[in-house]
């Protein structure tokens, strides 16, 4: 009799695991529907829609907020599930560890999938011909300051690789040409830069303190580049 009861319970556990996987995907995707719509607007050239949506991307730590929302929805769902099944306690949570683990791991994986795969790939699906970018443009020196000129477009930053010298101030001039894309917000954590770009010249300043790379990207991490810092 005990053997039969044990066997009949196994499908229930498998169903619970599948359910956790399903809801993990749902709650991982839910906050990103906004981002998906933005990418679609950018790809099809719906400038008005992307200009409106871009305003949200200037919010500091926007992607982290989306991850937090995903985990909030997952936690809320898990609480409802545990209460409905009579397991709303520490002991009950341990009993349902399989469902909860799958739910949260799937939620996190969906977010990472969007951040590291979907958004970077979307950067290569934009309309318009690709423009060759020089590996290291000429950097002018004016009054002891390295002046770097760059152009922002809907397809990224041109050029997106620049060689500069260490311990010498950099005046980074970005000419904005299209504010309807995520490239109109530039981020460089190493230089402490979070800037909303406007049409025309945008001046940013920093001083590279060590040899290596200083990365920068758009708000969605789709379009990237870096400064190659040398002696």
Q: pTM of the full predicted structure?
A: 0.54
Q: For residues 72 and 80, is the Cβ–Cβ distance under 8 A?
A: no
* Centroid of chain to Cα 91: 36
Q: Is residue 81 assigned to a domain?
A: yes
**What CATH number does the domain containing 203 carry?**
2.60.40.420
**Residue whose structure tokens are 């998906």:** 36
Cα–Cα distance measured from residue 13 to residue 202, given in angstroms and rounded to the nearest whole number = 57
Number of domains, the chain: 2
Both 46 and 148 in a single domain? no
Both 159 and 226 in a single domain? yes
Range of the domain at 217: 140-230
For residue 220, how many other CB atoms are within 10 A of its CB? 26
Both 8 and 104 in a single domain? yes
Of 122, 157, 192, the one marking the end of a domain is 122
Tell me the mean pLDDT per 10 residues along the chain, length 231: 46 56 69 61 53 57 74 84 86 86 83 73 50 56 92 88 93 89 87 91 94 89 89 87
CA distances from 136 to 110, 160, 190 (A): 36, 9, 20
DSSP string, 156-175: EEES-EEEEETTS-EEEEEE
């Amino acid at each position: 009799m005990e053997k039969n009861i044990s066997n009949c319970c196994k499908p229930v556990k498998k169903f619970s695991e599948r359910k956790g996987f399903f809801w993990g995907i749902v709650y991982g995707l839910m906050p990103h529907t906004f981002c998906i719509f933005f990418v679609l607007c950018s790809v099809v050239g719906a400038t008005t829609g992307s200009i409106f949506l871009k305003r949200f991307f200037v919010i500091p730590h926007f992607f982290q907020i989306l991850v937090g929302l995903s985990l909030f929805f997952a936690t809320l769902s898990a609480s409802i599930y545990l209460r409905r099944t009579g397991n709303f306690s520490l002991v009950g949570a341990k009993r349902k560890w399989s469902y909860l683990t799958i739910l949260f791991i799937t939620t996190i994986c969906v977010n990472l999938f969007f951040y590291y795969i979907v958004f970077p790939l979307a950067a290569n699906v934009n309309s318009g011909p690709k423009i060759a970018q020089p590996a290291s443009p000429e950097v002018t020196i004016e009054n002891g300051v390295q002046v770097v000129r760059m152009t922002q477009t809907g397809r990224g930053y041109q050029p997106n690789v620049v060689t500069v010298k260490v311990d010498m101030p950099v005046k980074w001039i970005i000419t904005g040409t299209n504010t309807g894309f995520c490239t109109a917000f530039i981020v460089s954590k190493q230089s402490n830069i979070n800037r909303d770009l406007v049409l025309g010249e945008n001046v940013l300043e920093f001083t590279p303190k060590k040899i290596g790379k200083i990365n920068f990207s758009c708000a969605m991490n789709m379009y990237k580049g870096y400064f190659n810092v040398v002696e």
